[in-house]
Amino acid sequence: MSAKRGRKWSCWPALCGTTRGGSVIVYSPTIRRVEETVEYLEESGIAAIPYHAKMETPLRRQNQERWMSDEVRVLVGTIAFGLGINKPAVRAVIHLSLPQSIEQYYQEAGRAGRDGRPADCVLLWQKRDHILLEYFINKISDDTERERASGRKRVIGRFADSHGCRHRQICLHFGETPPWESCGNCDNCSAKPEWLKEIVTAAAPEVAARKAYFPAMPSPSFYTPMLSSDESREKPRVRDAAPAEADPMLAEYLREWRRNMAREKKVPAYIILHDSTLEELCRRRPANFAELRQVPGIGEKKAEMYGAEILQALRNFGGGARVAPTAAREPAPAEQTLRLLNEGRSFEEIARIRARQVSTVICTVANLVETGQVKLDPRWISPDAQPLIEAACLKQGVERLKDIKDAVPPYISFDDIRLVVAHLRAENRVRARTA
């Protein structure tokens, strides 16, 4: 995903690396941004899958199952994703824009760290996110509900832009007054992690100066500030560092065993064993049923159902078994699109084959044109549109597509403009090299 198409952060691998084998949810405000983000992550070597309402139901269900079974760790979705999802080992929830309300953010961010282990929740936003929220609000026909939505937008705006403790703000919003002023965990109450500093550096100046960072905590949890126990009234603790895995290769071997077992039983992977239980197995390496029953998370029922397979997996690993090498790398999104273009496929056919929106495919093609990997085909452009776009570019330049759109007839689409501008940028680059 180029910087002109959205946010581009070279530190995504660093962020996803903090999840230590757990899962990640990335919430995007629009379907187009979902697909752009998936494309960018895949180009960066991070396996990710999309989830949004315009996908066919079987594909959407398949993607959800792949994520639930840990086959793919990163899922990028709209708010259509998450209802009824209760996966414990979600190590990060990332929002790419302002949510519509505190309630929405609280619900979505609360999907991180449900296993009680540390997790990260990040809200990245720009000032222009307010424009998108206003757009959605203006589509509400009922005057009363539209006013309520405007009020919710003002609240989430103040929350994101605040310099006060974010944990305390959420408590107050839901009617609880905590006896402390600082949680010691959010970005306003403690030092930001290194990967977040990298995001700020990489995204500036496009991304607004204020970013919200929330580590999810074991009980008393950042995500459950309204607990009724006495412990919940105490000031949240600074989270402990996650214990190091005893053997990463064994951990991955056991995860692969769990994935296979989950497919066989047709249940989510965490139903078989939680991540915390896998880590304890790595540390303790039980050799018999008596030792296995001492592992936290393995009771009599788990030992009866899976004990023999677990012990056999540990023996196999001790005997030299390892996770089978992955198959040949799947081509990157741009490579797939380029191959299909060379086969003579239309944008619509490519979108159908790659399970993407046509606009996403056109963005990828525009990048290929701009980088000189493919020549612009006039048939891709609406009739008579190219000379009008080129004339507008002479006056407006080739940096801001909106300025060009305002200078051409209404029937010319952003997709037309994007392709022609990519062609002009490629030509400008060639001239600069030969000058």
Q: What is the pLDDT of residue 208?
A: 37
Residue 107 lies in a domain: yes
- Residue 328 located in a structural domain: no
DSSP class of residue 230?
G
Handedness of CA 42, 48, 54, 59 (dihedral sign): positive
Q: Which of 233, 265, 286 is the last residue of a domain?
A: 233
In a shared domain, residues 64 and 155: yes
In the prediction, which pLDDT does 56 show? 84
Q: Give the residue numbers spanning the domain of 369.
A: 333-434
Please tell me the total number of residues recorded for the chain in this structure.
Answer: 435
- 340 plus 425 within the same structural domain: yes
In the predicted model, residues of the chain with pLDDT beneath 70 are 1-21, 83-84, 191-246, 325-330
In whole angstroms, give the CA distance from residue 34 to residue 180: 38
Q: Which helix (H) or strand (E) holds 197?
A: helix 194-203
Q: Which helix (H) or strand (E) element contains residue 74?
A: strand 74-77
Of 264, 287, 318, which marks where a domain is finished?
A: 318
> Helix, strand or coil for residue 300?
helix
Predicted pLDDT of residue 21: 61
Predicted local confidence at residue 3, as pLDDT: 31
Give dist(CA 118, CA 239) in Å, integer: 7
Residues 209 and 255 in one domain: no
Are 28 and 171 members of one domain? yes
Quote the pLDDT of residue 401. Answer: 87
Total number of domains in the chain: 3
- The reply to whether 337 and 314 lie within a common domain is no
Contact 24, 92 (CB under 8 A): yes
Any domain includes 58 = yes
Considering the domain boundaries, does residue 4 fall inside one? no
* One domain, residues 81 and 162: yes
Q: Would you give the distance in Å from CA 224 to the centre of its chain?
A: 23
The pLDDT tens digits of the residues spanning 337-373 come to 999 999 999 999 998 888 888 888 998 899 899 989 9
What pLDDT does residue 211 have? 40
The domain boundary residue, chosen from 171, 201, 233: 233
Query: Which CATH number goes with the domain that contains 36?
Result: 3.40.50.300
CATH of the domain at 308: 1.10.150.80
